[in-house]
Chain A
Amino acid sequence: MSVTNTRGVNRRRFLSALAGSTAFPYLFRAESTRAAGLSGKITMIKGPHSADEAKYEAEIIDDFKKANPNADVDFTTYDWANMNAQLTAGFASGSPPDVEYLVDLVYPAYAERGLLQDMTTLVNDPSWKSEHDAIQPFAWELAKSSKGTWGVPVLGAVYNIFVNLDLLNAAGVANTWNKSYPDLMAAAKATTKGDTFGFSMRTRVSDYAFWDWFPYIHNAGADILNKDWTANGLAGAEDAMQFLIDLHKAGVTPPVGSVDWQGQFDLFKAGKIAIYHGETPEINDLLTTPPPFKWDVAYAPPGPKAQTVMGNFGILSIAAASKNKDLAWAFIKHWASGPEVGRFAGEVNLQVVRTDIVDKLYLDKPPMQKIQKDFVPRVKGVQPHPKILTMLQQIWPVAESAYLGSVTGKEAIAQMGEIINKLAA
């Protein structure tokens, strides 16, 4: 239609034609230039995974700004020890950061209160399908709670076991220690001598000790909650709990609560613990400053139902109060993309939940590669219930009491079950 010939063309048709002619080239512009239409400023908050967190985030933001020159991202961190307090204050202020990195333990409580944007429609958009499918299904399950999907899973830390191969070899148990729980007990006893302990795991509530406890519970086919989250799901975990109590009573561990988690890692590095429950970021410490013994990573022996690994994962969420959700979503997609999350994970020594970049990660760090390829697929994570952190914090004194020998495994599981039932009601 010629826009110069207005005879017989009314004003509405003329304006429509004019709009159409200006929109036509825009529709077929390249993706990057169309994305360059995104503008504005958003803020992101995350807990630091490295002393150089700001530097690594700046790399991600700079790459984002190359494709979106009119956009800007302000990055800030919360302190892990005060994560709950800082996030609560941020949400209560009414103007929280647009993008939050939230761990699986805490995001459900915020989601339940309507503080997070339900991203179900966003993550299931057909245009994002290939990216969605690159993220492992277990990770998407961790991001679902209260009938919504509350973020894009990006990173995680697996809680692996470290073994002192020299101590295990000297005791002749290097090939048998993780075949079964009795074998683990035998190995722990065989390697306990003088001031050297055969086994250690976290016991203090301040060390989030439940992460080391979970694999034994999961391996028994149990969990905090039952399938429909209406009551506790700990039935069947009594023997596993008793095994852990017996380990502590056998004198193969440091006295309960006497050494914090960092202290246990220090003892392991000094060659004073044979089998130590740790987490993957410690691998970098051991590779950078090798201890005077051979070591390896492992997971707990199989239980009656499974052989799982525990991990703690984080998602990138959008605050419901965000005033620029489009830009926030664009930034999350960028952050969660293969090149960006892969580079970041490599810099901070964490695991990714994408499957398409695994072969390219940690080529110079075999233990990390082993964790990524062999351990991550075994992860059974925490149930993202809004009160999961409350439940874990409130049942933990019972576990402490059990490790100290005050109650049996059966009694401990029963007491924990009652606490969980009250909170789940």
Chain B
Amino acid sequence: MEAATSPSHMTEEEHRRQRFWAAARHNLTAYIFLAPILIFFVVFMALPVVWLFYLSFQHDGILAPAQFAGLDNWRRTFSDGLVVKCIGNTLYYCVLAIPTVFVLGMIVALSLQGVRRGAALLRILIYFPTLQASLIVALIWTFMIHPDFGLLALSIRALTGVKVNFLGDPHFAMPTIAMIEVWKGLGFWSILFLSGLLALPSDLYHAAELDGAGSIRRFFSLTLPLMKPTFYFGVIFATIVNLQLFDSVFVLTDGGPVNSTATIAWYIYRSLFTFSDPGFGATLSFLLVIVVLALTALQTWLMRERTP
């Protein structure tokens, strides 16, 4: 006697239900292993984002009960001149820092690629600044750029006769912060690009050498195109991270002089903890998310266009 649940006797509905539970049982192990991180994500990342979105339509909500503010915070965001300045400063910093660290990182990676003896030690030394806390890096550079005894300041004065006011001049303050961040991040990007270079197929280079291609031709015709996936990842990752610049600004300039180093992340912190305006801070946070998503989408679209 055939079982009532054998496939040939099941209705469409029963068949669909059976397939569903079979798939669920099959994935159960995966779900169990993913559960802790999913719970962590929901509790500590997703829910706060939802709460942040709710706060952007409120006045207060942290130190005092929330009061519905409608679109007040959003209207303020788009009419506040300092918001525009912060976005401009942040993008300016990204334009300074990202290409610089990429070019320097690639130069260091290409140099390291050819090193056989002592390569491991060199990589550790190059990566060392990346491991330092932002506060330590800021303190080191405070001494380096001190106008009276800073090594960098004195070197520039000796070579050019010019006394540079690194952090006090609005024209130099953000480039100075970019320089410090590039110094800190160079190790990370060098190692990342080095790993990309080491993964490139060597037979292509042998073939190119046999065909008479020189080192420069091989670099532009082979290395750069083959490194595109690494660069794509790097540009998007660097953009997301650098749009959130805060540590160096907070320690070195606190947004000054004359708001020339005020960034979006800095203004979010100020809104929340100095100005006690969490609704406005939450709105700025969402604005930052929108800017990051928009730039990331633009970059992804531009880079996809150029992929053969």
Binding site for B on A (CB under 8 A): 84-85, 88, 91-92, 109-110, 113-115, 195, 203-206, 254-260, 263, 267, 387, 389-390, 393, 396-397, 400-401, 404, 406
Bound CA span A321–B263, Å: 35
List residues of chain A with CB within 8 A of the CB of B279: none
A88 near B163: Cβ-Cβ < 8 Å: no
List residues of chain A with CB within 8 A of the CB of B272: 85, 88
Bound CA span A263–B150, Å: 12
B276 near A88: Cβ-Cβ < 8 Å: yes
Min distance, Cβ B71 to any Cβ of chain A, angstroms? 19
Bound CA span A109–B272, Å: 12
Which of the candidate stretches B20-28, B58-66, B203-211 sits at the interface with the other chain? B58-66
* B251-277 interface (Cβ within 8 A of A): 252-259, 269-270, 272-276
Min distance, Cβ B298 to any Cβ of chain A, angstroms? 31
The answer, among B63, B168, B273, for a CB contact under 8 Å with A115, is B63
B256 near A257: Cβ-Cβ < 8 Å: yes
A204 near B257: Cβ-Cβ < 8 Å: yes
In the complex, the number of residue pairs spanning A and B with C-beta atoms less than 8 Å apart equals 89
List residues of chain B with CB within 8 A of the CB of A397: 255-259
Bound CA span A91–B61, Å: 12
A255 near B147: Cβ-Cβ < 8 Å: yes
A114 near B257: Cβ-Cβ < 8 Å: no
Bound CA span A260–B148, Å: 12
Q: A114-B64, A263-B146 are in contact. Are A84 and B254 (CB under 8 A)?
A: no
A88 near B168: Cβ-Cβ < 8 Å: no
The answer, among A113, A203, A390, A404, for a CB contact under 8 Å with B274, is A390
Q: Mark B152-183, 1 if CB is under 8 A from A, else 0.
A: 00000000000101111110010000000000
Q: Mark B133-158, 1 if CB is under 8 A from A, else 0.
A: 00000000010001110000000000
Q: A113-B63, A258-B147, A259-B147 are in contact. Are A393 and B257 (CB under 8 A)?
A: no
Min distance, Cβ A244 to any Cβ of chain B, angstroms? 15
The answer, among B64, B148, B258, B275, for a CB contact under 8 Å with A195, is B148
Min distance, Cβ A110 to any Cβ of chain B, angstroms? 7
Bound CA span A259–B168, Å: 8
List residues of chain B with CB within 8 A of the CB of A401: 258
Bound CA span A260–B143, Å: 11
Nearest A residue to B272 by beta-carbon distance?
A88
A389 near B257: Cβ-Cβ < 8 Å: no
Nearest A residue to B254 by beta-carbon distance?
A206
Bound CA span A115–B62, Å: 11
Q: A263-B146, A393-B274, A393-B275 are in contact. Are A256 and B256 (CB under 8 A)?
A: no
A400 near B256: Cβ-Cβ < 8 Å: yes
A255 near B63: Cβ-Cβ < 8 Å: no
Bound CA span A90–B169, Å: 37
B273 near A85: Cβ-Cβ < 8 Å: yes
A113 near B259: Cβ-Cβ < 8 Å: no
List residues of chain B with CB within 8 A of the CB of A92: 62-63
List residues of chain A with CB within 8 A of the CB of B270: 393
The answer, among A84, A110, A254, A260, for a CB contact under 8 Å with B273, is A84
B60 near A113: Cβ-Cβ < 8 Å: yes
Given contacts A113-B64, A259-B168, 7 further A-B contacts (CB under 8 A): A257-B168, A260-B142, A267-B148, A393-B270, A397-B255, A397-B258, A406-B258
Bound CA span A256–B255, Å: 15
B163 near A255: Cβ-Cβ < 8 Å: yes
Nearest B residue to A402 by beta-carbon distance?
B258
Q: A113-B60, A257-B169 are in contact. Are A389 and B274 (CB under 8 A)?
A: yes
Min distance, Cβ A256 to any Cβ of chain B, angstroms? 5
List residues of chain A with CB within 8 A of the CB of B269: 85
List residues of chain B with CB within 8 A of the CB of A206: 252-254, 256
The answer, among A115, A255, A406, for a CB contact under 8 Å with B165, is A255
Nearest 8 CB-CB pairs, A to B? A257-B168, A206-B254, A258-B168, A113-B64, A84-B273, A85-B273, A258-B165, A390-B275
The answer, among B257, B259, B275, for a CB contact under 8 Å with A256, is B257
